[in-house]
Structure 1
Amino acid sequence: MYDYIRSALTLFAQPVRLFQTYPLHALRADFFAGVTVGLVLLPQSLAFAILGGLPPVVGLYSAMVATMIGALWGSSTLLNSGPTTTGAILTLSVLLPIAPVGSSEFVTAASLVAIMAGIIRLIMGIARLGMLVTFISDAVAVGFTAGSGLLILFNQIGPITRISIPPGANIPTIVVETLAKFEQVHWPSLIIGGLTIIIIYTIPKFTRTLPASLLSIVIMTFIVWVFDLEQQGVRLMGEVPAGFPPLAQLPFDLHLIGQLANGALALAIIGLVEAIAIARAIAGYTGQRIDSNQEFVGQGLANIASGIFSGMPCSGSFNRSALAYQAGGKTALTGVISGITVLIGTSLLNEILAIIPRAVLAGTLMVAALGMVDHKAMARVWRSSRGESAIMVTTLALTLTLPLQFAILIGVVTSLGYYLIRTAMPRVEAVVPDSEFRHWDTAHGKPMCPQLLVVDLQGDLYFGAVNHVEEQLLGLLERQQSVRYLLLRMHSVNQCDVSGIRALETIRRTLRVRGGDLYFVRVRASVMHRMQSSGFYEQLGAERFLDEDKAIDFLFHRVLDPAVCIYECDRRVFRECQELPKQLLPAPVALPLRDGKPPAQITARTLWEQLHTAQPPQVIDVREPREFQRGHIPGARNIPLAQLLHQREHLPPGPLVLVCRSGRRSLRAAALLAGRTPPPLVLEGGMLAWEAANLLEAVEEF
């Protein structure tokens, strides 16, 4: 417990670490980058507050406080926290059922829900739950972001045309209202907003060093001021209070807190996903390592501070973070300076901010909204899998039809459900070597070995997945009745619990009944530890765990029945099969059953001794001539198994000993010679056992 508390307290010491390790040579770069971002944040914070149905000054308060706190306590050096488009529209959706837009209750609820969302994020960070963000699918984020972008886009039709549309109306309502009141369009405002959009898209074609949104706001504000278009009905921002943000007057209302609970949770989740995703994207350029738990704490404290100082819910902004990187920012001090810039700029430029046309801000929001509909990301998700495509489309549809907090929560639950289904139903695929014998391919429609089944397990063997894995493996064995050996490739199995061990035991029992066994390659250390601690490893024996590069060679030469390979199988699945002679028999000859009476066997040492007696047995080697030439028992006669079918009536009388490489073909030969007197013996272990006993071999020229 002491270690945990100490670890949690270190999360709050981030500012100390920042200033202790701050490189002074980065101060100049951080200062200019911070000022640049702050100048962009000034008008953005006004626009995002309006988007959330709040007074513009609320956005400024959030920009001042949340930006500095998020930078000081966050993990990312360049993540810029503060008001965002997603947070603003989600805030509006959460608060609409609570209080009328623009009322003091509405503003108070915005600050309260910011604190609640911040507390949730802070608790998640202290509890080290940063890894939970990885369980939220990109499909949810892409679908929600695209849906939010469309909502923002349509919700700006009212401000840019000055048509009266109910706040938070859905897209069909906005379209119907706009068409019904089209004659009420205020054309000067629409033209100003349209020119703003054109300027934003035009500036990057000439230069990318200047922020297009800020420059368009400056140009259009100057035009409105010069031509005094306020007299033509163009609405301006209005008075912007200067100075440090005041403390919010927050009532302790349990009923209100209960009403805001779901919305606060949605704000916390989507804000964290947004912030972590942006932090990781920027880290891809800077090479920084992101600590999700530290970022949770930073985002939590930023929202708590924003709510306390009369602000709104906040998160990370991608365009401001990217601007901080492009402007040369080096450390988190960039975010602190951007917040200070907003504070000073509000005091010095409040009269200029007051004359910014609202149609101009609506135009900038429309551009930002269109940027949220990421066609490339949507196409990538669409191509990835049907499940993720369905999640993306569902989240998008819910975002456009339901209150956003419910759309997010349903999307997250759907994503987690999809994850659980995927982990509970891992892929179990039979594989075969490719044409060059370098990699493994799915075996669908390809020739497979009748004796050996190679299977890839693409997931963990835990209690939720074992039934599926067991059914899939038994199904493969059911379809391949001749298979007696199973090689499991375990490189994708990271965890295996007791239920997984029991499933493997069931599969092994099935194979043992067939006269075969179970083998493994690429077993991870965690899974191997579970196998050893459960006794399963000892039960199988170390020889069942093979080196992947040598596994097929070992199984082919030491385990598989060569009689099947030569006389019954017309396929050449493995590299080892390529030069194997194929002499298919007219009909298969069954091996003696394990529960039947097997033929008598003789050991290599005993046979050697009998060969040196007065009446030695006749040794019949049933291997192919090429194998026989490489080495055989002195005095042995070579009659390949295929020829034994026709020559069994002409064999010499007296005791016979049947020999092959490992004993498999000898068992087949013994089955062919059943009923002979005396019954033939089989060399136990074949020539492999003879060689292992270091007994003499003969090599003959033919």
Structure 2
Amino acid sequence: MLTFIYSLLPFLRWSKDVNQETLKADVMAGITGAILVLPQGVAYALIAGLPPEFGLYTAIVSATFASFFGSSMHMISGPTAALSIVAATVITSVTADISVDNSAVDYITLMITLTFMVGVIQLALGFLNFGVLVNFISHSVVQGFTSGAAVIIAASQMKNLLGFQVESNGTLMSYIMGVLDNIKETNITALSIGLVTVAIAFMFKRYVKRVPYLLGAMVLGALLCFLIDGAVKGVFLLDELSGTLPPFRLPSFDSDVLSVLLSGAFAVALLGLIEAASIARSIAMRSKQQIEGNQEFIGQGVSNVIGGFLSCYPSSGSFTRSGGNYDAGAKTPLASLFSALLVILFVLFIPSITRFIPVPVMAGSIIVITWNLFDVKGFIETLKSEKAEVITFLGTFVCTLCIQLEFAIYVGVLISIGCYLHKTSRPKVTLVAPLVSDEGKRRIRNVARYALQECPEVKMIRVDGSIFFGSSEHLQKSLQGLGDKGHDKVIVISKGINFIDATGQHMLINEIERIEKKGGRIIFSSLKGNVCDDLEKTELKNQLDDDRLFDTTSQAISDMIQHISAESCTACTSRVFHDCPVIKKRQRCTL
């Protein structure tokens, strides 16, 4: 019962550890978190196509509920760059499909409806114990999608940097064409302010560590705009904040709206969970905390469901703010509550401050964020990985640039699964031979790697991988290839075989019959105990028990050399099987 209560109210686990010392540490971490989220929340709201206060509303609600109902002690949730652009793309792409009165379902209503649906999906996955689901999303998919989203976000801000408006459908090409069509309308003053903001941000990040680089760049960029009378020269400024707490607002429950948003909502929910789970695990590696995947699903779901009624858009864990929270010395999730309270004070008492921030300054700040999101070093390192990882990464990256973002993540997952299935369907078959050490011990080693001689009569192979319906044909062709080269005596070292399904069993029985029908012999060694247990009472196990399965490779070799005839060894000079009676008799092998 206690475990069940803790799963519903996980904050009861750590609340008993709160004391004066932890409260002091959490307050200081909360101040740091508030400073970090203020510029980011405004910037991400603009990426999502929303008024700036919506980013702060999301930071307030999500940070509180996700922390209290999740399992991580340090992860901070709220608006993120990737989810902002994906949510904006989803809403933009379905606007034309809404067959209801647009005055009743405007952009903001669609966005909070999306938030509510994302929360419901995440809660369902959490309660159904689908926390393991994120393990099927490879790192290459996440990195490819994140890199592509960074490029899309940067492209979406070019119009704000250049000082004009363009229409787009959320793809890279639409942003590029929109900019090229309106390039003559570029406002040089706006462009200059934006570029200076970018330069200042990079300088602060590298040389002024004590000041949050985004905050410093925004303040100095706004000051520059004021000094050169940017507003008079056509530079747009942000709107003033509403100055109110997150207002209660009902999402739409219209069936048409819910149906067209469903596919996008699932993609956003999945991406949000991947982000949150990855960040929670990353921070937990530093804090030595154990993370419960399903509890994180529930925490994200609760925050988005509640956010759907409090004017929030989809949120997830933030790597920047989570890392900052841990580095600032946070002890409990109360740090996220203190951060949210400080943001509330900012919204209530200094709402007019945003009207002094130029749009090009925000565009420059967002471009800096995307540069950090792109991770050039990680991009290059991934291109040096194995072929399957490169294909998955580049496939996801290109799809993110060329198609709607909510579908790009699906394509990336399919590519990743396809590469995995291709790899598992081709179990590695390695030619091996005995290598005798100076102490006289026989070790089985890779023929190609150690340049070993093979016995001309017996072929030894090691199979690494499972034998199932997807890999049986590949392994069968490998065995038949050995027969085609005249090797009718085969030893299969099976220590790398994890399981054999019905199709694999049928294939091996056929190969045993085919080889022995030709007068040859095939035997197996070192089959795992759990595989033998699974094969109990099967026809294949009966075949193996009939003097075709040996516990060790040495036993298999000793049995096989008894079947080598003197005639076939007349010309043998390979000196591989040193205990072969024919070789010993003819004294050709000093081993």
So what's the TM-score if we normalise by structure 1? 0.74
Q: Does 1:484 align with 2:489?
A: yes
For the 8 Å contact 2:190–2:230, the answer to whether it is kept is: no
How many angstroms apart in 2 are the aligned matches of 1:217 and 1:433? Answer: 69
Which of 567, 570, 575 matches 2:570?
A: 567
Partner of 2:535: 531
Of residues 501, 526, 536, the one that matches 1:521 is: 526
Q: Which has the larger radius of gyration?
A: 1
Relative to structure 1, the CA distance from residue 478 to residue 14 in structure 2 (aligned partners, 3 Å threshold; closer, same or farther) is same
Read off the aligned partner of 1:456 and give its amino acid letter.
R
Q: Choose which of 77, 80, 83 in structure 1 pairs with 2:79.
A: 83
Aligned to 2:351: 350
Tell me how far apart the structure 2 counterparts of residues 18 and 26 of structure 1 sit (CA, whole Å): 11
After superposition, residues 570-609 of structure 1 pair within 5 angstroms as: 570-573=573-576, 577=578
Aligned to 1:214: 215
Flag structure 1 segments of 5+ consecutive residues without an equivalent: 584-621, 628-702
Alpha-carbon spacing, 1:569–1:349, altered in 2? closer, same or farther (3 Å): farther
Amino acid at match of 1:220: G
Percent of residue pairs identical: 28
The equivalent residue for 2:99 is none
State the SS of the aligned residue for 2:430: strand
2:110–2:252 Cα contact (<8 Å) kept: no
| 8 A Cα contact 2:6 2:13, kept in partner | no
CA deviation after TM superposition for structure 1 residue 442, in Å: 6.1
Aligned counterparts of 2:331 and 2:152: Cα–Cα separation in 1: 35
Contact 2:432 2:444 in 1 (8 A): no
CA distance in 1, matches of 2:588, 2:405: 76
Contact 1:452/1:487, CA 8 A, preserved across alignment: no
Listed one character per residue, the Cα deviations across residues 1-41 of structure 1 (whole Å, up to 9, x for unaligned) are: xx9xx977653221222313557643322221222122111
Aligned pair in 2 of structure 1 residues 580, 512: CA closer, same or farther (>3 Å)? closer
Q: Does 1:460 align with 2:466?
A: yes
Which secondary structure does the structure 1 equivalent of 2:460 belong to? strand
Quick check: 1:428–1:472 contact (8 Å CA) kept in 2? Answer: no
Which residue pairs with 1:623 in the alignment? 585
| 2:504 aligned with 1:500 | yes
Aligned residue type for 2:201: I
Shift of 1:563: 5.6
Deviations 1:118-144 (A, max 9, x none): 111111111111222122232222221
For 1:435 and 1:216, the matched residues in 2 are separated by 68
Q: Using the alignment, how far apart are the partners of 2:348 and 2:331 within structure 1?
A: 27
Deviation at 1:446, TM superposition (A): 6.2
Query: Scaled by the length of structure 2, what TM-score is found?
Result: 0.87
- Could you give the per-residue CA deviations for residues 573-624 of structure 1, whole angstroms, max 9, x where no partner exists? 5xx54x98997xxxxxxxxxxxxxxxxxxxxxxxxxxxxxxxxxxxxxx935
Q: CA deviation at 1:60?
A: 1.3
Alpha carbons of structure 1 residues 569 and 120: separation in structure 2 relative to 1, 3 Å: farther
Post-superposition shift, 1:518? Answer: 1.8
1:51 equivalent in structure 2:
47
Pairing of 1:73-152 with structure 2 (within 5 A) = 73-99=69-95, 105-152=106-153
**CA deviation profile, 1:414-471 (whole Å, cap 9, x unmatched):** 32233333333333333346797767336499643334433333322334433433x2
1:301-316 to 2 correspondences below 5 Å: 301-316=302-317
Q: Which amino acid aligns with 2:572?
A: C
Residue 162 of structure 2 corresponds to residue 200 of structure 1: no
Contact 1:461 1:495 in 2 (8 A): yes
Change beyond 3 A, Cα 1:434–1:315: farther
Q: Distance in 2 between matches of 1:439 and 1:196?
A: 63
Q: CA deviation at 1:261?
A: 0.8
Provide the C-alpha distance between the structure 2 equivalents of 1:23 and 1:503, rounded to a whole number of angstroms: 66
Is the Cα–Cα contact under 8 Å of residues 168 and 174 in structure 2 kept in the other structure?
Answer: no
Relative to structure 1, the CA distance from residue 417 to residue 239 in structure 2 (aligned partners, 3 Å threshold; closer, same or farther) is same
CA distance in 2, matches of 1:278, 1:439: 43
CA distance in 1, matches of 2:394, 2:508: 39
Q: Is the 8 A contact 1:8 1:126 kept in 2?
A: no
User: What amino acid does structure 1 have at the position aligned with 2:81?
Assistant: T
| Residue in structure 2 matched with residue 60 of structure 1 by the alignment | 56
C-alpha distance in structure 2 between counterparts of 1:148 and 1:105, whole Å: 25
The DSSP-based 3-state class of the residue aligned with 2:240 is coil
Q: Which amino acid counterpart does residue 34 of structure 1 have in structure 2?
A: G
Q: Distance in 2 between matches of 1:60 and 1:370?
A: 23
In structure 2, relative to structure 1, the CA distance for the partners of 1:371 and 1:431 (3 Å cut) is farther
The superposition leaves residues 164-203 of structure 1 with CA deviations (integer Å, 9 ceiling, x where unpaired) of 2114454344334434433422222222211211112112
CA distance in 2, matches of 1:73, 1:239: 33
SS state at 2:9 partner: helix
Write the distance in 1 (CA, Å) between the matches of 2:415 and 2:46: 32
Q: Is the 8 A contact 1:155 1:168 kept in 2?
A: no
After superposition, where does 1:624-643 map in structure 2 within 5 Å? 624=586
Cα separation, partners in 2 of 1:257 and 1:275, compared to 1, 3 Å: same
Whether contact under 8 Å (1:271, 1:315) holds in the other structure is: yes
Q: How does 1:438-477 map to 2 (within 5 A)?
A: 440-441=445-446, 443=448, 447-469=453-475, 471-477=476-482
Question: Contact between 1:434 and 1:441, CA under 8 Å: does it hold in 2?
Answer: no
Query: How is 1:331-480 mapped onto 2 (pairs within 5 angstroms)?
Result: 331-432=332-433, 440-441=445-446, 443=448, 447-469=453-475, 471-480=476-485
Root-mean-square deviation (CA), in Å? 3.3
